[in-house]
């Protein structure tokens, strides 16, 4: 089965929406997934649909994508209605304005006058082309729309009602109650709408000085999506649609409220008993590492799997490097940093202490550009050398430290982001391997000099693809076994090689979180969606029983090989390799968070079983010499299927 990247991505987002029905998840966590789904769909219309919108409007593939977004929106609206009942059982309600007391209405009238009205934009309907992306608007008028009222971004969409714990009222409902605070004439019609503009920037930007203008251009990005509430007058809809240059299917009509991202606030405010318990981090090994990271690395490579083993170990490594007087130089690549970042602050501290600190900060990380521009200013003011933006996006993750003449290295699969490090499942490797540390320095120096990196042990660019293709061909026999774990697998050559490998009698396991554009009957494909976001990229090959394992920052997409600087590194230490192979085994066996992706386009949901790859307990079992021998020959013609729970077939 072949499909487009866009439709494959939407199928992933349907699986995210599916988590709102998880019987084993607390109510607030299920509600949080509804907010994640809404945020993801906004990103889809802002970025991921751009190629198809610009080149494929009017095609059957484009129509299929829009049909899927409409179907998901209907499911999300039903999920929201069901959550209102679930929340009511917890004493949490979103009230209508009719349920407010007179005193409460007066209070919220004053709130609107003081906090909202001064920050609200009102524009004439003729200026509909100037609507801001993702902002919530109200159209008002009589026979035709005359005004558009933009709800301020900084005001919460749901407001707690003072004196009534657990009770909320939607901001949009309050605006309907008091339109006189925003309009000079009284309007009898008031309807919600919003648009999403495509937010791409010029990817060949070569310097930081180009970024501000590129970001400003987003204000004029083409509108790809119009969302209106059910009951929106037909004449109004057509007037606005035509003004925006949209086709009928590019308008989504859903029951209010629009923009379900607001449910995240309710989930955040919810009672602890309706949320996940705190993560039981396996801290013993990480704790020893945090006390003496360099001594720990001197004893051998340290590999941690986050979030089950604390991400604080990475921050501690950076913090120690900043304060250790024996450290003289630091090099780091940063992609998504966030607003408050201990590791980034450590780089500033190190520079202020007189160390030689340089950072390759990727200013073109989508939707993080402004935050990274701010960090660039902070770095420069502290004496950190910020490299020019290279020809390609730098997506590699490395932190190189020179201590007493000895280089140390952290290299991993995840961004150096304090929140993601605690919520994403990623692999961290700390080493002082002469081969890996030399490659890391070579990689950084080449990008600083504006040349292509030439590496000895690690791989970058087309060499990543080439190694995977070579190993898949070598595994193409009845005793072969390959495991590929990515966020996205769309590269035609790797897809073809995986298919050929499977048809040769080998077992080929694909663990693909998000985008898989072709599924062959010769491979086993599954997706893990659970409490933590699966983010690690790992490839493993049996190699006549010797298991070769590589990790890195890359996905198997042409863009990662051609238009990004990525790093793929080998896992050589036997204990580290054992740890990662056990992680892969747990995910191949999972029957609690997994979906089998079938060659006919359907998905088989595996919930409610006994193998949960995102629990701590499996990571505390005794190591075995070959963690994947239980997937050995004899279980089926493709060399061993994992035990399966009763399955529900989901049409995708």
Round to whole Å and give the CA distance between 87 and 595: 28
Residue 208 is classified by DSSP as G
Round to whole Å and give the CA distance between 486 and 622: 27
Residue 647 is classified by DSSP as -
So what's the pLDDT on residue 9? Answer: 97
Round to whole Å and give the CA distance between 539 and 541: 7
User: Beta-strand (E) ranges in 154-255?
Assistant: 158-160, 167-170, 189-197, 223-229, 251-254
Lowest average pLDDT, out of 173-182, 203-212, 242-251, 461-470, goes to: 203-212
So what's the pLDDT on residue 387? Answer: 94
So what's the pLDDT on residue 643? Answer: 29
Round to whole Å and give the CA distance between 479 and 544: 8
| pLDDT classification of 282: cutoffs 50, 70, 90 | low
Say how many residues make up the chain. Answer: 652
Q: Which two tokens stand for residue 465?
A: 């693809």
SS3 of residue 544 by DSSP: coil
- Which helix H or strand E contains 375, and what residues bound it? helix 369-382
So what's the pLDDT on residue 10? Answer: 97
So what's the pLDDT on residue 500? Answer: 97
User: Any idea which residue has 């360099």 for tokens?
Assistant: 294
Which string of b and e fits 437-466 if b means at least 16 CB within 10 Å? bbbbbebbebbeeeeebebeebbbbebbbe
Question: Higher confidence at residue 119 or residue 41?
Answer: 41
Residue 652 pLDDT exceeds 50? no
Bond from prior residue into 596 cis (ω within 30 degrees of 0): no
pLDDT digits (tens, 9 = 90+) for 460-483: 999 999 999 999 999 999 999 999
Question: Higher confidence at residue 419 or residue 214?
Answer: 419
User: Any idea which residue has 């059957």 for tokens?
Assistant: 60
Cα 564–chain centre separation: 18
So what's the pLDDT on residue 649? Answer: 27
∠ CA 315-319-321, rounded to 5° = 120
Round to whole Å and give the CA distance between 442 and 306: 27
pTM of the model: 0.90
SS3 of residue 271 by DSSP: coil
Contacts by 601-604, CB closer than 8 A, 24 or more apart: 601/1, 601/3, 601/519, 601/651, 601/652, 602/649, 602/650, 602/651, 602/652, 603/11, 603/15, 603/527, 603/649, 603/650, 603/651, 603/652, 604/647, 604/648, 604/649, 604/650
Region 228-251: what's the mean pLDDT? 95
pLDDT digits (tens, 9 = 90+) for 420-432: 888 999 999 999 9
pLDDT digits (tens, 9 = 90+) for 310-332: 899 999 999 999 999 999 999 99
| pLDDT classification of 634: cutoffs 50, 70, 90 | very low
Round to whole Å and give the CA distance between 605 and 609: 11
Round to whole Å and give the CA distance between 502 and 519: 12
Alpha helical stretches, state H, 102-144 = 102-111
Q: Which two tokens stand for residue 632?
A: 């050995």
CB 565 within 8 A of CB 394: yes
Residue 111 pLDDT exceeds 50? yes
CB 136 within 8 A of CB 157: yes
CB 616 within 8 A of CB 308: yes
So what's the pLDDT on residue 641? Answer: 31
So what's the pLDDT on residue 284? Answer: 55
Round to whole Å and give the CA distance between 32 and 158: 15
317 half-sphere exposure, CB direction, 13 A CA radius? 30
Residue 515 pLDDT exceeds 80? yes
So what's the pLDDT on residue 187? Answer: 59
Residue 231 is classified by DSSP as T
Round to whole Å and give the CA distance between 21 and 43: 23
So what's the pLDDT on residue 630? Answer: 36
Q: Which two tokens stand for residue 173?
A: 């409902």
pLDDT digits (tens, 9 = 90+) for 436-449: 999 999 999 999 99
Mean pLDDT of all residues in the chain?
89
So what's the pLDDT on residue 214? Answer: 78
So what's the pLDDT on residue 471? Answer: 97
Round to whole Å and give the CA distance between 414 and 395: 10
Region 631-636: what's the mean pLDDT? 32
Residue 113 pLDDT exceeds 70? yes
Contacts by 444-451, CB closer than 8 A, 24 or more apart: 444/331, 444/333, 444/358, 444/360, 444/398, 444/400, 447/360, 447/387, 447/390, 447/394, 447/565, 448/358, 448/360, 448/387, 450/388, 450/390, 450/391
Lowest average pLDDT, out of 85-99, 101-115, 341-355, 625-639, goes to: 625-639
pLDDT digits (tens, 9 = 90+) for 368-395: 888 999 999 999 999 999 999 888 999 9
Round to whole Å and give the CA distance between 324 and 327: 6
User: Any idea which residue has 């590194």 for tokens?
Assistant: 569
Domains of the chain: 5-274 (1.20.58.310), 283-293+304-448 (3.30.870.10), 462-651 (3.30.870.10)
Round to whole Å and give the CA distance between 217 and 643: 52
SS3 assignment for 284-351: HHHHHHHHCHHHHHHCCCEEEEECCCCCHHHHHHHHHHHHCCCEEEEEEEECCCCCCCHHHHHHHHHH
């Amino acid at each position: 089965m072949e499909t487009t990247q866009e439709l494959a991505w939407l199928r992933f987002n349907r699986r995210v929406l599916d988590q709102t029905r998880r019987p084993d998840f607390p109510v607030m966590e299920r509600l949080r997934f509804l907010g994640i789904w809404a945020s993801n769909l906004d990103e889809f219309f802002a970025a991921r649909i751009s190629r198809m919108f610009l080149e494929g409007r009017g095609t059957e593939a484009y129509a299929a994508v829009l049909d899927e977004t409409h179907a998901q929106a209907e499911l999300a609206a039903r999920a929201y209605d069901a959550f209102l009942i679930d929340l009511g059982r917890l004493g949490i309600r979103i009230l209508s304005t009719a349920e407010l007391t007179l005193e409460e209405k007066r209070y919220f009238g004053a709130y609107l006058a003081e906090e909202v009205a001064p920050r609200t934009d009102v524009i004439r309907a003729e200026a509909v082309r100037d609507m801001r992306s993702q902002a919530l608007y109200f159209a008002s008028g009589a026979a035709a729309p005359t005004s558009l009222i933009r709800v301020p971004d900084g005001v919460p969409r749901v407001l707690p009602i003072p004196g009534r714990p657990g009770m909320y009222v939607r901001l949009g409902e309050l605006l309907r109650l008091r339109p006189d605070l925003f309009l000079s004439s009284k309007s009898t019609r008031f309807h919600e709408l919003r648009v999403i503009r495509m937010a791409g920037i010029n990817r060949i930007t070569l310097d930081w000085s180009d970024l501000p203008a590129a970001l400003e251009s987003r204000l004029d990005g083409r509108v790809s999506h119009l969302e209106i509430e059910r009951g929106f007058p037909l004449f109004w809809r057509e007037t606005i649609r035509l003004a925006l240059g949209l086709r009928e299917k590019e308008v989504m009509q859903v029951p209010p409220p629009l923009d379900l991202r607001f449910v995240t606030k309710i989930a955040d405010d919810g009672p602890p008993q309706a949320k996940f318990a705190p993560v039981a981090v396996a801290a013993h090994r990480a704790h020893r590492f945090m006390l003496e990271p360099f001594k720990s690395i001197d004893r051998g490579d340290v590999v941690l799997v986050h979030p089950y083993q604390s991400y604080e170990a990475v921050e501690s490594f950076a913090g120690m490097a900043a304060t250790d007087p024996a450290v003289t130089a630091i090099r780091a690549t940063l992609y998504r940093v966030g607003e408050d970042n201990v590791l980034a602050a450590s780089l500033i501290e190190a520079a202020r202490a007189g160390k030689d600190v340089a950072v390759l900060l990727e200013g073109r990380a989508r939707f993080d550009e402004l935050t990274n521009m701010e960090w660039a200013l902070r770095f420069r003011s502290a004496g950190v050398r910020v490299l020019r933006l290279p020809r390609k996006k730098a997506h590699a993750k490395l932190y190189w430290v020179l201590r007493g003449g000895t280089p140390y290295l952290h290299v991993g699969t995840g961004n150096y982001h304090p929140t993601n490090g605690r919520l994403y499942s990623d692999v961290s490797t700390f080493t002082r391997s002469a081969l890996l540390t030399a490659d890391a320095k070579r990689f950084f120096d080449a990008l600083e000099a504006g040349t292509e990196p030439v590496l000895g042990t690690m791989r970058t660019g087309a060499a990543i693809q080439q190694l995977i293709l070579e190993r898949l061909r070598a595994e193409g026999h009845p005793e072969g076994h390959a495991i590929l774990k990515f966020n996205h697998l769309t590269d035609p050559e790797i897809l073809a090689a995986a298919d050929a490998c499977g048809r040769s009698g080998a077992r080929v396991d694909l663990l693909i979180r998000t985008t898989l554009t072709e599924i062959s009957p010769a491979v086993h494909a599954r997706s893990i969606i659970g409490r933590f976001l699966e983010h690690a990229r790992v490839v493993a090959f049996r190699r006549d029983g010797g298991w070769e394992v590589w990790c890195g920052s890359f996905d198997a997409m042409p863009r990662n090989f051609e238009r990004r600087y990525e790093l793929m590194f080998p896992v050589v230490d036997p204990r580290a390799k054992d740890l990662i192979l056990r992680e892969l085994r747990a995910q191949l066996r999972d029957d609690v968070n997994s979906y089998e992706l079938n060659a006919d386009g359907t998905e088989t949901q595996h919930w409610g079983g006994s193998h949960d790859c995102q629990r701590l307990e499996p990571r505390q079992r005794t190591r075995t010499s070959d963690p994947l021998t239980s997937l050995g020959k004899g279980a089926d013609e493709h060399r061993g299927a994992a035990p399966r729970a009763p399955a529900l077939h989901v049409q995708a």
